[in-house]
Structure 1
């Protein structure tokens, strides 16, 4: 089967979203351009890292190139996944780049594969590489994505005040208490 590279040059929406209840949520990244909708599955930590790195990239671009963030070109009025959500692939490797000529942030998400993709496979779009999703965003749209993704990650289970691991509704076995089960709600 040949490699699929999905390119979205001016998406209407690019967002992170979840399906399920906290503690059992599945995370997705979704891009919408016209009637074209593509979703990829990912881990919560990947969403958090992508949001953080986008924030850092935006700050660096503004500092180095004097680029202004501005306002998002698309409305973020509907930050919910378009259903049905059918993941094209599970994200393995993620990459970010700044296109100075087009003044755009490029988000590249590669499918999880058994082999770690090498730089030449990615940069040259070689046929033997993993499937990929490439999304071009303005600085404002990238900032809006990062802000929304941060809210999605934070909307999960609250952290334990002792070990910072997520708390289930009935508490959890805290490693800081040597496995002693303590209800921290009261």
Structure 2
């Protein structure tokens, strides 16, 4: 399987297709007319966004005033547009890896195809020809914008139960904190 690589793409976003409660989540990279979409779970989007923010904050803390990392998302990079259509899934993401490239001052994100026996932790640059990989290199400012949008996309779903935090359906849900009573 190929390594699908994007160096400073025109666009790299997380997005969802469908109605809350039935949404499918994607990472999507675009350079010119070339578009790649990979499917992943909602929790993976959340974890990626949170880890990106942690990585950027750490690089900023270590670099002090000279750090190439903005404290907030630059307004010109805000992206609330829907995913590019048609969304054609290349593969479903299993494991992800995240790294900071100090020489290029870029964030490297790798999303690897899900496999049957995922037990080993992935390493950035560890290429297995049997596994498809989406590798994206973006600036720190693009990473801030990605993380902000990803968290908004996740939050746009069903509201959480105030007691247990599980998503509420339109008819309520069976809340474990209410001993299984419909809440």
Contact persistence 2:79–2:149 (CA under 8 A): no
In structure 2, the gaps of 5 or more residues are none
In structure 1, the gaps of 5 or more residues are none
Change (3 A) 1:115 1:181: closer
Q: 1:127 maps to what in 2?
A: 129
Q: 1:143 maps to what in 2?
A: 144
- Bigger radius of gyration among the two: 1
Aligned mates of 1:29, 1:105 — CA distance in 2: 15
Residue 180 of structure 1: CA displacement?
1.4
Q: 1:19 maps to what in 2?
A: 17
Residue 164 of structure 1: CA displacement?
1.2
Matched, 1:109 2:107: no
TM-score using structure 2 length:
0.90
Aligned mates of 2:60, 2:123 — CA distance in 1: 30
Aligned mates of 1:172, 1:120 — CA distance in 2: 37
Q: 2:57 maps to what in 1?
A: 59
TM-score using structure 1 length:
0.88
More deviation, 67-76/136-145: 67-76
Contact persistence 1:26–1:43 (CA under 8 A): yes
Matched, 1:156 2:144: no
- SS of the residue 2:153 aligns to: helix
Contact persistence 2:164–2:175 (CA under 8 A): yes
